[in-house]
Structures are given as structure tokens and as C-alpha cells.
Structure 1
Amino acid sequence: MPYTIDQSSRRAVLTGAGLLALGALPAWAAEAAAPSVAAAADLSSALPELASLFTKQTGKSVNLIFGSSGAFTQQILNGAPFEVFLSADESYVDKLAAAGKTEGPGVLYALGRIGLFLPKGSTIAPGGDLKGLASALRDGRLTRFAIANPDHAPYGRAAKEALTKAGLWAAIEPHLVLGENVAQATQFATSGSTQGGIIPQSLALTPQVQAAGSFALIPADLHGPLRQRAVLLKGAGATARAFFAFLQTPPAQAVFKRYGFAQPTGKD
């Protein structure tokens, strides 16, 4: 069975009690407070930069909370008072829209990619075709490998699809160390806890990850598209609406592009 390590995110996460307390604020106080933005963990490098740019432009701030898209979806269905949701998989936004939790269908803001990360000094041959990984599995060199939990993390699901199409899933599953979200999986892959992992390009492009090892994109045809959708949630205030609109502007899209996200087009 895969290992699942329950480790708190390195970024602040509101507890259930904190969320309930926020939800209990009167309307005027809730609007004055920075709105809570639930964001997929693959955005944990790009979104703080975007939030800082938004603050410089408007003087307003947002409270960023990172985690898995599936876990956030369940929290929102249960009444968590987020005002904006940036999902790594648009199907979760569709689910919330069907439940009447959103203001409209939202917007496609980015297309994600995954790749194979190997730490410095690895004996596994690099390459997005995963042939080096297959060789390491055959001769017993690979014993611990990180991906995000595919049950609720879209990037984990894409990793499982790629490993399955490459014919490696059955062999690698007993050696998996599952992160609760893709940021945690990246931490496992880069910290020496595992012998590598499948991580998002958006996190692989950060200086810390680049310094820790090598990264090779996995061909997009090995997994389903990572269509990332943002949406305003019911009850969103003026600051949340302004931030949602800001994410669709050319300066914001330029930041997404710099972190390796493909830009949506009319054909996407």
C-alpha cells in the first residue's frame, strides 16, 4: 500500500474553528476582513506573487489558503466561507456550481503540466518518458516515490494516469508516498524523503526545486488535461470580486505563464 503522510502545509491553513468564526462575523466585518481564497496547492508559488501585485494595485489584500482541490470542494459544500476558489481541475467547480455554491461557471485561468523530478545524485535516469523510472523499478533501485494523493488532488490523478499509461502503476504503487496535496508531494520529492516524484511544472520552476535536482516534462498525451478553473463563491464581497477580475488581466496571466502554466485560448 502507498504511504500517506499527514503533514501540515508549510503555509497557514484556517482550522475548522477559524472558518466557523469567520463565517459568524457580521456582514460589515466580513467585508472589511481580507477575503479567504481557497487555492490548489500547485499555485503556492505563483499566487502569493499575484496577491502581492493585486495589493500594490488596489491597496486591498486577500487571505490565501492552499490545499487539494477535492478537499476544498468538500469544505465548500459543507459551508466553509471561502469567497474565491481556484481549482486545479474544473470538474470540482462544475460540482460546486451544480450544488448552487458558485456565482456562475467561473473562468478557465490556466492549463497545468506535470513532470518527473529527480534529486541531485539520483541513480535513476531522467526523462519525461519515464523509461528511467521503469528501469529502476525492474532492478529494485526505487523504493519510495512521491505523488499527490490521486483520490482528491488533480495533479496526483494526472500522475496516476501517466504511470498507468506507461505501464508502471502496479509496480510502483507499493512504493508510493502520497502527499495530501501536490505541494506536500513536492516537498517529499525534494527533501530526501523519497527518491523523486511527479510534481507540477509550476513548482518545479521555483529556485528551491531547481537547486534540488532535475525536472523533465511528461508528455501531455500520457494524462488528461489539467484544466484549472477559478470561480466566485456565493456571498463573495467586493474585494474578492476585484481579485477574481484581476486574475484575468494580462499582468496576472503573464505571472501564470512565467510559472509554466499554458494560457487558455478560445479553443480550450
Structure 2
Amino acid sequence: MQFDIIHRLVRRMAPAMLAIAGMAAWPAGHAAAGTPPVAQARIAVAANFSEVARLLAEQYARRSGNRIDISVASTGKLYAQIRHGAPFDVLLAADDSTPQRLVDEGLAVRSSLYDYAIGRLVLWSRDATLVTDGERVLRQHDFRKFAIANPALAPYGAAARQVLQHVGRWDALQPRLVLGENVGQATQFVLSGNAEAGLLPRSLVLEAQRQVGGSTWLVPADWHRPIIQSAVLLEHGSGNPAAIGFLAYLRDDTARRTIAAHGYD
């Protein structure tokens, strides 16, 4: 009789035991039958947009469950890495010419091109009293050291060169320029005091000012070519649902509000 009772208990427990075993063996990323696995994409991001990109990646991850990894450098350096086979799925550039060039070279998907932001340059100094009349300071001040991103690598650096040419200071300031490999490094030169002032992305200066204050002036947009920032799906990510989904999310109202809140038009 005792054997019969034990036998009946085992028969009743068997389905539950099998279910538990199945759950333990279920691959990571599957919560239940029919749930797709978590997708992952690697996004190459221009340095000026790095913090915003991380915020957007977090927002998108919470919404989709997909994972976004961010790699940051100047647009020029990212372009070179993509040309040499770096496994990026999406490029968020600081210009619109680099994504177009990648499309023309067969390394990106033409239909995915999207202008996600328009950048603005500001004159910024840690000295709260320096930039009281921005145009006058830019035209006349005898800067010790002046920071911009390398114009050969960074679109914001190219725009800064155009601004200095516009006010007639490019040649005079050549010996005093400190060139950042990207705008993040150029901003750090001013933040650390190694440069007295610089022409930098408004988005990065907003963050730096929260740390140290200082004085700033928004450069007129018509003093340089528009800094139109484009995104593109790279061929490496053309079949990646996380990459495709992230690009679609850039057009979402929540994402657009986040971008605007960080200093972009």
C-alpha cells in the first residue's frame, strides 16, 4: 500500500518536475515559448553625441529589450574604422557627408539615411567674466590657448575653422590652437584650464557648465556651414533587428525631445 501511495505521488509530480527542468534548460533571453531572443547592436557615435546616444540606448533598451553597445570617436576616425572592417551596425555621424559616402561606397543602406540632429557651436570659457560680448571677444581677445577639434577629423572642428575664418582670426590663432582628436577632447582642454576658451558643441558645453560654470556665447548659425548630423544603417547591421529598431526609435517623439533637450536644433 505504501508503494502505491508513493507511485501515485511521483506520477502527479512528474509534469511539474519536467516543467522546472525545461525552464532551467531554456536559453537566456527567452522568457516563454514564442518570445524572441534579445538582439544586440553596436553603434558607432560621433563624440559630440556620446552622452545623448547613451541615454537613447537606455530608453530603447527599456522599450524593446534589445541591447545597444556604444563606441565613441570622431566621425573621421569612425569612418576609417568602418572602411577597415570594424563590426559596427549603425553610424551616428556629426555630419551628413560621411554617411552618404559610406552609402556610395556600398558600406551602408541608402534607404536608412536619416538626419537626426542639427548641431550648434558655442564659444565657451571657464572664466565667467571672459565671454561677456561673444563676437567682440572672438574677434579681438588675445587668447593664450584656444581649443577646437581637429578640422581634418571632426565636423565640429571644420565648422570652428570656418567661424575663425569668418572673423579673420584663423591665421593669427594658428600658433595658439590646441586641437582635440575629437570634440570631447577639445572640450576637456577648456574644462581643465589648458585652453582659455574654445569653439565647441553646445551639447557638450551644457554638460561642462553644470560642472564648472563659466561664460558662453552661441555662434550665429550662418557663420559656418550647417552641422547636419545623419545616421545610417551599415551593411554589417542590415539584418540586425536591434540596429534597425534603434534607427526607427531615433524618429520617435520621446527620442526627439531628448535630443532637443541636449542642445540640438
Whether 1:93 aligns to 2:133 is no
1:1-268 matches, within 5 Å, as: 34-105=40-111, 106-121=113-128, 124-129=130-135, 131-137=136-142, 142-206=143-207, 208-209=209-210, 211-236=212-237, 237-262=240-265
Report how far residue 207 of structure 1 moved: 5.7
Distance 1:128 1:246 in 2: 37
* Matched letter for residue 79 of structure 2: T
Report how far residue 224 of structure 1 moved: 0.3
Give CA deviations for 1:107-163 in whole Å, capped at 9, x if unaligned.
1111110010011355x343442x2133222xxxx2211100001100000000000
Report how far residue 222 of structure 1 moved: 0.6
Which residue number in structure 1 is paired with residue 29 of structure 2?
Answer: none
Structure 2: which 5+ runs fail to align? 1-36
Distance 2:206 2:224 in 1: 20
- Residue 113 of structure 1 contacts residue 200 of structure 1 at CA under 8 Å; is this kept in 2? yes
Distance 1:128 1:220 in 2: 14
* Matched letter for residue 41 of structure 2: P
Change (3 A) 1:41 1:186: same
Which residue number in structure 2 is paired with residue 20 of structure 1?
Answer: none
RMSD over aligned CA atoms reads: 1.7
Identity %: 38
SS of alignment partner, residue 101 of structure 1: coil
Change (3 A) 1:194 1:209: farther
> Which structure has the bigger radius of gyration?
2
* Matched letter for residue 231 of structure 2: A
Distance 1:153 1:127 in 2: 27
Give CA deviations for 1:53-99 in whole Å, capped at 9, x if unaligned.
11111122211111111111111111111000001111001111110
SS of alignment partner, residue 70 of structure 2: strand
Distance 1:182 1:155 in 2: 7
Q: TM-score, normalised on structure 2? A: 0.81
- Residue 190 of structure 1 contacts residue 212 of structure 1 at CA under 8 Å; is this kept in 2? no
Bigger helix fraction = 2
Change (3 A) 1:206 1:161: same
Give CA deviations for 1:157-207 in whole Å, capped at 9, x if unaligned.
000000000101011111011000001111111111110111101112226
Structure 1: which 5+ runs fail to align? 1-30, 263-268
Distance 1:235 1:32 in 2: 18
Change (3 A) 1:121 1:204: closer
Q: TM-score, normalised on structure 1? A: 0.80
Change (3 A) 1:127 1:34: farther
Distance 2:51 2:224 in 1: 23
Report how far residue 42 of structure 1 moved: 0.8
Change (3 A) 1:208 1:128: closer
Distance 2:192 2:210 in 1: 9
- Residue 131 of structure 2 contacts residue 215 of structure 2 at CA under 8 Å; is this kept in 1? no
* Matched letter for residue 85 of structure 1: L
The farther-off stretch of 199-208 and 53-62 is 199-208
Distance 2:110 2:125 in 1: 41
SS of alignment partner, residue 89 of structure 1: coil
The farther-off stretch of 87-96 and 200-209 is 200-209
